[in-house]
Amino acid sequence: MRSGFFSRLLVTVLACFAVCYAVYMAVRFFTPDYQTETAFSYVIADSSRIKAVAVRDEQVITSSAQGVYAYLRDDGDVVLSSTTIANVYQAQGDLAREEQCRRWENEISILQSAQNAGQQPMLSDTLGADVSDAAGAIVDAAVRGDLSSLSEQRDRLQLLLGKRLISSGKITDFSSRISQLDNLITSERAQMSAAAAGVTSGVAGYFCSMTDGYETVLSTDFDTLTAAAVRGVVEGTTKPLKNDAAVGKVQKNFRWYLAAALDEKTAQQFVEGASVTLDFGVAGATDIPARIVLVRREEKAVLVVFECERLSRYLISLRVASVDVKFRSFSGLRISREAIRYIGQTEGVYVKSGNLVVFKPIERVYEDETSILCAESANLPNSLEQFDEVIVRGKDLYDGKILQ
């Protein structure tokens, strides 16, 4: 009995061993002894993300006029000291009438331009193609959801259609429609309760319709600006000085500044005089050139100031923002650090070329904790190329080895 039991146990153990060995051999057969990754071109920027405050030489525009304000200038527009930046209407209805009158005046201007240009000899097929392009541009903008240029595109289409009507000889002029619009404008403005009061800028510079109360708190006199003051604005502990009469402001110089209060470790990357690129993560504000003009170590923080000369509708109204400061960009072929091998003193990687293992030398241009960027077209014989299959893991690798 006991002998039979041990015999069955032995057979069971041997059977299990045979199954496990078969599985092991199958895994080895179907699983390669190496792992590869493809070398692709890659661009990486050495950057630091910080919180910063815009500092400008600003003049607040004030007005005591009561009523409804209609701004005549867009944020970022250049204005002179005598430029009217807004009209003030006594009632909302007056503003609506004025806006309608401006639309009619714009139509008159388009009709007059079409009338004058259409009387000159032009090829009708050229005008036809231009009309088709203008109509297509409107459709494309609508599909993209970009309505910012829709009014301008509509005016262009109306102008081209007017030119085509005149050049085709179907009508001789638009005098009847222009006269009708003139009468409508006269009638509409006669119904307004009072003439609009104008607000002028007072100084020349770049206009912004928004104020935040920090215009007089922050100064471009960097001898008096401190890291503590900058940090106070970022954290909200420094309160703005509100001005109820403020209706806008003017940045008096095309240069403006970005100031940050950094800890000592972060500040190590920032060197006075260095050129950098600022990325605010907003369309139109992702590649802003700047220069570090001040690095000053204070008791509890380091004050870093960047000088910028590019403006936009977004940037002119910016005060506190998170920004990526890009010091330098690197490009090359990205590989894992695990792939690095050496033949003597030569650093390189093993590449799978068909069923052959080939050693290719590399030249590092950038590295981090997990990967390395290698120079493309390095001045080395048989150097790494894009789309090479780099062996990351493998056993018994050597140059010229034939893979099974």
With a cut of 50, say whether residue 29 has pLDDT above it.
no
pLDDT, mean over the chain: 85
So what's the pLDDT on residue 189?
A: 86
Q: Which of 368, 366, 280, 277 is nearest to 326 (CA)?
A: 277
The arrangement of strands across the sheet holding 78-79 comes to 58-62, 246-251, 205-208, 78-79
Confidence of residue 11 (pLDDT cuts 50, 70, 90): low
Instruction: With 0.85 as the threshold, say if the pTM is over it.
Output: no
Most confident of 131-145, 168-182, 232-246: 232-246
Q: Which of 392, 401, 403, 394 is nearest to 36 (CA)?
A: 392
Confidence of residue 30 (pLDDT cuts 50, 70, 90): very low
Amino acid, res. 306:
F
Distance of CA 274 to the CA centre of its chain: 22
With a cut of 70, say whether residue 118 has pLDDT above it.
no
Q: Residues, the chain, total?
A: 404
Contacts of 177 (CB under 8 A, 6+ apart): 111
Amino acid, res. 39:
A
So what's the pLDDT on residue 116?
A: 80
Cβ atoms within 10 Å of 72's Cβ, excluding its own: 15
Give CA torsion, residues 276, 278, 279, 285, to 10 deg: -130
CA angle 268, 272, 278 (to 5 degrees): 80
So what's the pLDDT on residue 62?
A: 93
CA-to-CA distance for 361 and 348, rounded, in angstroms?
A: 4
Amino acid, res. 234:
V
Residue position matching structure tokens 């692709």:
40
So what's the pLDDT on residue 31?
A: 46
Is the distance from CB of 322 to CB of 314 less than 8 angstroms? no
So what's the pLDDT on residue 183?
A: 93
Distance of CA 38 to the CA centre of its chain: 30
Is the distance from CB of 80 to CB of 349 less than 8 angstroms? no
Give strand pairing partners of 323.
50
With a cut of 90, say whether residue 145 has pLDDT above it.
no
So what's the pLDDT on residue 15?
A: 61
CA-to-CA distance for 185 and 101, rounded, in angstroms?
A: 5
So what's the pLDDT on residue 147?
A: 65
Structure tokens at 251: 């940045």
Q: Which of 238, 203, 198, 244 is nearest to 58 (CA)?
A: 203
Q: Which of 258, 255, 266, 324 is nearest to 297 (CA)?
A: 266
pLDDT above 70 as % of the chain: 88
Q: What is the DSSP letter of 239?
A: P
pLDDT, one tens digit per residue, over 93-108 is 888 888 899 899 999 9
So what's the pLDDT on residue 294?
A: 95
Mean pLDDT of 301-324: 94
So what's the pLDDT on residue 304?
A: 96
CA-to-CA distance for 348 and 345, rounded, in angstroms?
A: 10
Mean pLDDT of 270-281: 92
With a cut of 50, say whether residue 26 has pLDDT above it.
no
pLDDT, one tens digit per residue, over 348-358 is 999 998 889 99
256-262 and 40-55: which strand pairing?
A: antiparallel
Asked whether the CA dihedral 106, 109, 115, 120 is positive or negative, the reply is negative
- Asked which of 65-74, 115-124, 225-234, 290-299 is least confident by mean pLDDT, the reply is 115-124
CA-to-CA distance for 27 and 402, rounded, in angstroms?
A: 20
Contacts of 286 (CB under 8 A, 6+ apart): 279, 280
H or E segment and range at residue 136: helix 124-144
pLDDT above 90 as % of the chain: 44
Distances (CA, A) of 155 to 102, 149, 377: 13, 10, 51
Distance of CA 186 to the CA centre of its chain: 45
Most confident of 35-44, 216-225, 255-264, 379-388: 255-264
Give strand pairing partners of 105.
none
CA-to-CA distance for 94 and 85, rounded, in angstroms?
A: 18
With a cut of 70, say whether residue 367 has pLDDT above it.
yes
CA-to-CA distance for 70 and 99, rounded, in angstroms?
A: 9
